[in-house]
Structure 1
C-alpha cells in the first residue's frame, strides 16, 4: 500500500517547503507520493514553488485558480482526496520536518477504519532557521491531544463523510471538525505520542495578523471565533456528512480568466449606504439570473464628511453608511456561506477605497 501525502499551500516562503520535502526525500520507506496543492498563490510564490518542486520526483503538483478568493484548506485537501481510490492519505503541513522513519511507521498504523493524528515538536524561531539532523533539534515544546491537524486517514472513511467541511475559510476548526465527523461516522480516531515523528518550524500565528481595519489581504474580523462556534454546532448536532455533490471542486482556469476579464469591464456601482448594501446582499445578489456580473463598491463621500456624520448622529440624514471594512466582512461572509461553489473574483483595491466583486451566478 502506498501512502498519499497532501500538502495544502499558499504564499509561504520556499525554504521551509524545501526543508519539509527534503525530510521526505530521506525516508527509510519510499512507498509514498506527495500531492502538492497550490491554492492560488501570488505569481512570485508560484514561480518559486514550481521551480523548487522539479527537484522532487515524488511530487505531483496542481495549481488551483483561487487567487482572488480567501484561503480554504478544506477545498485544497478535498481537491486531491475526491480522486483518490484506495489506501490511506496523510494531511501534511509545509512547516513539518519528518523523522526518517515516519512513512515506515505511518504505513504500519494504516488500517481500514482507523485514523491517527500525531504529536509534534515545536521549534523556536532561531532553531527553525538551522539545518540539523532530526534528533539534534532543540524542541521548545510538544503538542497535546488538542492539536488535531496532521491526520492519517483511510480514503474510504474520509470519502464517506465527503472529506473536510468546505464551509471553513481562513483559519480555525476544520481539522477538529474532520475528527468529530469521522467518529460520528463510526471511524476510530487515535492519538500517536509514543515517539516524536515530526517537528514544526516556527511561524507567526496567523490569527495575530488579523486587523481591525480593511486590508488588501482578504480578512474577516472574528472569523476564528465564528469558525469555532460553527465547530461547536457540528459536535452538538452529531454531524457526519457535509458539503454537496460538487465537494472538492474549484473554478477552472477558463472560469478564472473570464472573471478577470469581466473585472476590467464596466461595473455596476454600489455606494456604501446601509440600505443599498443590505438590498444588494439580501435581495439583488440572491435573485440574480445565471450569468457573470461585475460590481464595484466604494465608500460614499458623504459618509466621511463631518456634515454627514453630524446628520447621521442627529438622524436627519436619509441614509446611514457602512465603512468599507464593514461591507468587506458582510460580503465575504455571504460569499463563503452561500456562494462558495460559484466562480467568483473578490479584490480590495490597493488604495483601500473600493471593492471589486465579480460572480458567475450558476
Structure 2
C-alpha cells in the first residue's frame, strides 16, 4: 500500500503575510497522496473571512474554521479532529509560521514507514531575514532548535489512534507535542530526530499571547502545569490520553451560535468560596441552556479588610486568581462544551451551554 500523508496546520490569528509565505512554500510541492488542511481555531471572525479569501488562492489546501472565539487555544483538538477523520497512513503536524524546503515532500514521502515517528529541527530567522523575498537556501538563520523541540512531526496514523491521539488537556502553548512523543515511546514505538538537514525555517513574529494584559485568554500558570503533566507522563510511563473525555470533536456552529444569547444570568463576587461553589454547581444548573456567570469585583472597605484580617470570615481573590480558577475548571471538566470567556480586572464573564 502506498503511503498517504495528511498535513494539519493549526492556526489562530497568525499574521496573514506570514501565512501566505508559508503556504507559498508548501503549495508548489503538493503531490499525489498528500493533502493539507489548515485548521483555524477561533481567530477573529473578520480574520477568518480574510483567511478564507487567501486560502481560495491555493488550490488543494483545505480550510476548516472552528467557531471557538473566546476560548483557550487547543492545538491538540485541531490535530485530533483531522486524525479522527483521516484515511491517510501518516499524519504530519506543522506550524503556521514555517517556510518549507522546496524538496521536503518529494524527499520524505518515499522514506515514510509504519513503524516510527520522525521529527525535524527548525531554523529560526531574525525579524529582518523573515521578510526578505529570497529563496529558501538564501535565508540565513540565527539558531536551530534541538531534539527537545518536537513540534514538527510525521506520525503513523495507527499509532496515534492507539494512544488516543494528542492529549486535549493541554491548552495554551506548549507540551502537547512533547507529551505525544513520550507516550509513543512508552508504548514501545520508535521516535526519531532527523537532524541531518534543515527543512523548515521559522518566520519571526511577536509572542502576543503570554499576558492577561494583552487581551487574549490566558492562564498565568498553565504552561507550568502542562510541563508538570509531561513529567508525570514520563515518570509513570503513561500511554493513553483522553480517557474521560471524547477527543477530536468538531465544534458545532449552531451550538456556538446560541452563545449570542443568555438564558440565565448569575452574578458572583470574587470571594474564594463563592467562586468555588459556583463552578462546582455548574452541572446542576440545567442542560441545553446558555448560562452566563459574571464574576464581579466588589470594593471592600478598609474596615472590613481589617476585620477580616483579624478574624477571617471571607477571602477575596484578585482577578488573576479568579481567572486561573475558572480556566482550569474549564480545561478539566468543560473543554468540549460551547463556551465564551472574557476577562477584565473588574469583571469576568463565562457563557457556557451544558450539553447532554
Q: Please say whether Structure 1 and Structure 2 have the same fold, judged by a TM-score greater than 0.5.
A: yes
Q: Is this contact kept in 1: 2:41–2:68, CA < 8 A?
A: yes
Counterpart Cα distance in 1 of 2:30 and 2:41 = 30
C-alpha offsets along residues 54-106 of structure 1, whole Å, 9 cap, x if unaligned? 01112111111211210000001111111012311210111111111100122
Corresponding residue for residue 298 of structure 1: 295
Corresponding position: 1:45 with 2:42:
no
Corresponding residue for residue 309 of structure 2: 313
Which SS does the other structure have where 1:97 is aligned? strand
Q: 2:333 aligns with which of 334, 338, 353?
A: 338
Counterpart Cα distance in 1 of 2:160 and 2:119 = 14
Unaligned segments of structure 2, at least 5 residues: none
Q: Is this contact kept in 2: 1:96–1:198, CA < 8 A?
A: yes
What's the offset of the Cα at 1:231? 0.7
Corresponding residue for residue 218 of structure 2: 219
What's the offset of the Cα at 1:2? 3.3
Counterpart Cα distance in 2 of 1:25 and 1:354 = 42
Which SS does the other structure have where 2:65 is aligned? strand
Q: Is this contact kept in 1: 2:258–2:290, CA < 8 A?
A: no
C-alpha offsets along residues 158-192 of structure 1, whole Å, 9 cap, x if unaligned? 11111100000001210010111111223211011
Corresponding residue for residue 320 of structure 2: 325
Q: 2:89 aligns with which of 87, 90, 94?
A: 87
Within 5 A, what are the aligned runs for 1:8-19? 8-19=10-21
Distance 1:44 1:216, change over 3 A: same
TM-score by length of 1: 0.91
What's the offset of the Cα at 1:30? 5.6
TM-score by length of 2: 0.93
Counterpart Cα distance in 1 of 2:282 and 2:337 = 12
4+ aligned runs moved over 4 Å, structure 1:
28-31
What's the offset of the Cα at 1:26? 2.8
What's the offset of the Cα at 1:138? 1.1
Corresponding residue for residue 106 of structure 2: 104
What's the offset of the Cα at 1:309? 2.8
Distance 1:319 1:153, change over 3 A: same
Q: 2:269 aligns with which of 258, 268, 271?
A: 271
Corresponding residue for residue 239 of structure 2: 240
What's the offset of the Cα at 1:137? 0.6
Unaligned segments of structure 1, at least 5 residues: none
Counterpart Cα distance in 2 of 1:337 and 1:28 = 39
Counterpart Cα distance in 1 of 2:70 and 2:34 = 32
Corresponding position: 1:356 with 2:350:
yes
Corresponding residue for residue 63 of structure 2: 61
C-alpha offsets along residues 88-147 of structure 1, whole Å, 9 cap, x if unaligned? 121011111111110012212210111100111110111011121011011111111111
C-alpha offsets along residues 29-49 of structure 1, whole Å, 9 cap, x if unaligned? 564211110111101211111
Which SS does the other structure have where 1:267 is aligned? strand
Which SS does the other structure have where 2:299 is aligned? helix
Counterpart Cα distance in 2 of 1:241 and 1:139 = 37
